[in-house]
Structure 1
């Protein structure tokens, strides 16, 4: 905004027809962002609208594209994995309303937009008009990058046994290890030996953000969803079915070592609680991927 002289704005091409998805901004407020794929060009225009009879002098206009990772664990850290700049106008004076086209073509946007507990990955366009006397004027517009897959390979079932000697022995099975975000987890729990009084059993999805890498890495767990599998004491030979629809929860794909800054993994946590409120649990990692927007 330029107050008494005019205003500047950013506009992305074809925004009305482009799919939008909800993300949280820096204040935690939900905003709708237009979605681009990793290989799409970013095309738009900068509009400068003057107040009637006014002239606007400037020291140049530039447009920038950023891919940025913000880490807020312990201390704020910001790093840019994309930082591109284009000069749109040399120093001069604007005497009438103008629209200046811009494009960023064939820019590899390898990572998905992500908002987590301590990590945020975002993409945005920024226009800057340099001013000689007053402060520079800027405007930003944010967009999301999401990537889909058709299918994944080597998707085998998960089978495991869990036991406490002479007290409890169970087998559990999930139909596969890799699930798309709208998928359904199907499985079963089979009780081979039950000598403790089980009160209930639940299945939880744990999201683990890993900040950093190697020996300096820090893990932060967050329970995304809980699902009660059984209420009451099972008996030997009982077979408890599991059916959990993932589309009801706010999940993201699994990310490994994003720009050497963070990873996001997901675990199924099967928990049994006995009548003395002792908890028995077993975790199994699952891989999540995006099939469709």
Structure 2
């Protein structure tokens, strides 16, 4: 693990117990850098050590050393404001002096982590272990991020989606998806029925759109991104034609659906069906789906 150097006579290194055995998630940092973070779950303890080393044989006089476990939501358009929904703190050392390396144990027991970690376009929900060495001139602070996943039980009811799209006397289609709620590794299975076709359709495509909503009116921001888009039909169908849909979700970077997390943001997913005719006119129908996480085998 890398150790970071500060403009001070001390290095701080945070080690987490059993982290090598945990699943890792690659977290995007600034300037296209990535860092691996271990995955934790709600109710799990977070245990580790803070290793503090005095460099060059210098004496370190400090006003106390503490470790915190913090959960926060950062809204990128509201820079400087981090909304903390979780803040736990433990004292590691009382004010004093250090002349040699010391290691301090910390143990945050059975921590409630009510929200899943998330990194989006305008928002980031993160959990960090933060060690602070308080000093008269400038504190030395080191952070280590962990990633939190939340499992949900499969829903009891999971109805299929059936909808119609029509342009009077020109086009009438019905489409059906097998479910309205999908887990992250699921398969979307569906069919499209052409009941009336009097326009010349060039092709048809299906896309998954993620819509992130942050803030609250009047300062509410919506950002949509297309996760995937693929052509499901090329050429003009005839009446009575049926087009099958089969979309495997496991290959895409999806998150669960989030609704009004701590009254700060939501992330929703939509299936977007688009027909393009020979004059490049577009006809589309959008349907929200719910995505959830279940334990992996």
TM bucket, shorter chain:
over 0.9
- Per the alignment, residue 249 of structure 1 pairs with 252
8 Å Cα contact 1:64/1:85 also seen in 2? yes
8 Å Cα contact 1:158/1:176 also seen in 2? yes
CA distance in 1, matches of 2:267, 2:104: 39
CA deviation string 1:23-61 (max 9, x = no partner) = 212444332110000111111111122346433221110
- Per the alignment, residue 65 of structure 2 pairs with 61
- Per the alignment, residue 289 of structure 1 pairs with 292
Describe the SS at the equivalent of 1:159.
strand
After TM superposition, the score normalised by the length of structure 2 is 0.93
Q: Does 1:45 align with 2:49?
A: yes
Aligned runs of 1:160-199 on 2, under 5 Å?
A: 160-199=163-202
CA distance in 1, matches of 2:119, 2:221: 17
CA distance in 2, matches of 1:144, 1:165: 51
How many aligned positions are there?
A: 292
Gaps of 5+ in 1: none
- Per the alignment, residue 96 of structure 1 pairs with 100
Task: Tell me how far 1:212 sits from its aligned partner.
Answer: 2.3
- Per the alignment, residue 37 of structure 2 pairs with 33
- Bigger mean CA offset, 274-283 vs 11-20: 11-20
- Bigger mean CA offset, 68-77 vs 92-101: 68-77
Gaps of 5+ in 2: none
- Per the alignment, residue 85 of structure 1 pairs with 89
RMSD: 1.8
- Per the alignment, residue 225 of structure 1 pairs with 228
Q: Does 1:23 align with 2:27?
A: yes
CA distance in 2, matches of 1:203, 1:76: 39
CA distance in 2, matches of 1:32, 1:71: 22
- Bigger mean CA offset, 209-218 vs 103-112: 209-218
8 Å Cα contact 1:213/1:257 also seen in 2? no
CA distance in 2, matches of 1:249, 1:166: 38
CA distance in 2, matches of 1:268, 1:51: 56
